[in-house]
Structure 1
Amino acid sequence: MSNFFYTDSDIKNLDRRVRLKLINAVTGIKPGNLVGSMNSKGQTNLSVFSSVVHLGSDPALLGMIMRPVEEVPRHTYQNILETGYYTINHIHPTFVENAHYTSAKFDESISEFDRCGLTAEFLENFDAPFVKESTFKMGMQFLQQIEIPQNKTRLIIGEVKVLVLPEEARVDGDIDLEQSRSIGISGLNSYYELRKLATFPYARTNEVPDFDNGS
């Protein structure tokens, strides 16, 4: 099998759209989530994110990358700073197309919930809207942001305050994302269903198998 080989100069000289698609895909499959938020006037907002990442379990912290906010209005970002709360909702195959189109640059007065055929749901008096169609969702409290100076993106850090997940996804203490039918994203607009391949025990040095690397 032949391979493409790119140096950093090659990457910098690529057409902007080609480079955008390529570098967005090199990490492999990323989690597909819808982030719900609401401003102090009650206007709801919904946007697709593929950058949510685990930061720690005690306390339960998640991070996500917010694109630069200086030139393009980021309603999700503004709402998070204004209210301090937001939700993270897994995407499922039944509404993957609806989820994708929340990435369009709608005016602030237009709710992506309404325009993209999804339902805002409020749970446990939490001050941000969940996606009713999602069976796996988290209510988040904003803690801090860290700016990445090289490209002006921001790491948004929040703590999980509400967790809702389907019973069938809890298997022997683990979470089975195939059972929850959670969706993954590659690049900017390609969506994948997940299939569980295996479960291995916690890795201890004295229990590592003798792998034959062919040498």
Structure 2
Amino acid sequence: MAEFSLEDINKMHHLYRINLINSCSGYKSANLIGTKDADGNSNLAVFSSLTHMGSNPGLLGVFMRPTTVIRHTYENLKNTGYYTVNHIHEQIITDAHHTSAKYDKSVSEFDVTELQEEYKDHFHAPFVAGCPIQIAMSFVEEYHIKANNTILVVGKIEKLYVPDELIEKDGFINLSKGKVVTINGLDGYAVPDLKTRLEYQRPKAGFAHRD
């Protein structure tokens, strides 16, 4: 089994280190975040750092890289207060990944890919047409992570769009049925297959409760 000390990691070639550390945390969400600036310029970018933060209210967090260079997604959602989260599915992997390329603010990623803008219920930011899960988000607050200058953006779910056939009787969204993908590292895409769901777990009889 390979072992890597902190000293080993610090001595690695930067590309090897990036790939190693980005993939060691496990599979991550695969989402496209859609925004639009005040002048009507749309933007779309792939993110793998979306995380659930609470159900009531419904909050999602996403980590943004340092703003030492222009970050169009961050600028747009901060200036307008709105953005969308769209789950990447099997049929759009290549185009979704291409949104990681750095384009000028005047160039919309929708124009350089086959991905299509979709607007719902007069919401300011664009959705990605055909995505099995589409979420309208509003900016709530942000936190600066001093250790590496990243920013945790916290948003509230304003509206959720899910095809009926993906929703189980208890409200569970079966992402496998929608061929929703996940990201391994920076550029590895996989389509998970749901194996089973397990019941809520309670302590076994005779064992003391521990926090």
TM-score, length-scaled by structure 1: 0.93
Q: Structure 1 residue 175: deviation in Å?
A: 1.3
Amino acid in the other structure paired with 1:149 = K
For 2:139 and 2:114, locate their aligned partners in 1 and report how far apart those are by CA, in whole Å: 27
Q: Distance in 1 between matches of 2:55 and 2:168?
A: 19
3-state SS, counterpart of residue 99 of structure 2: helix
Which secondary structure does the structure 1 equivalent of 2:93 belong to? helix
- Rounded to whole Å, the distance in 2 between the matches of 1:172 and 1:193 is 23
Residue aligning to 2:209: none
- Check conservation: 2:132, 2:180, Cα contact below 8 A: no
Within a 5 Å distance, the mapping from 1:125-204 to structure 2 comes to 125-173=122-170, 174-204=172-202
In structure 2, distance between residues paired with 1:21 and 1:172: 39
Deviation at 1:172, TM superposition (A): 2.7
- Any idea what SS the aligned residue of 1:205 has? coil
In the alignment, what sits opposite 2:121? Answer: 124
3-state SS of paired residue (1:34): strand
The percentage of aligned residue pairs carrying the same residue is 39
2:95/2:113 contact within 8 Å kept: yes
Equivalent residue number for residue 57 of structure 1: 55
- 1:166 CA drift (Å): 1.5
Whole-angstrom CA distance in 1 between matches of 2:130 and 2:99: 14
Alpha-carbon offset, residue 154 of structure 1: 0.3
**Runs (5+) with no aligned partner, structure 1:** 208-215
Aligned to 1:213: none
What are the Cα deviations for residues 19-76 of structure 1, in whole angstroms up to 9, with x where unaligned?
1111110111111000000000000000000000000001100000000112x21100
Q: Paired residues, what number?
A: 205
- State the partner residue of 1:110: 107
Asked if 1:38 corresponds to 2:36, the answer is yes
List alignment gaps of at least 5 residues for structure 2. 206-211
Matched, 1:96 2:115: no
Checking the alignment, whether the CA contact within 8 Å between 2:54 and 2:60 is kept in structure 1 is: yes
> For the Cα contact (< 8 Å) 2:66–2:151, is it kept in 1?
yes
CA RMSD of aligned residues (A): 1.2
SS at match of 2:155: strand
Q: Equivalents in 2 of 1:165, 1:87: separation in Å?
A: 14
Match of 2:208 in 1: none
Q: CA deviation at 1:181?
A: 1.2
SS at match of 1:171: coil
1:21 counterpart residue number = 19
Distance 1:81 1:47 in 2: 15
SS in 2 for 1:17: helix
1:187 to partner: Cα distance: 0.7
Name the counterpart of 2:74.
Answer: 77
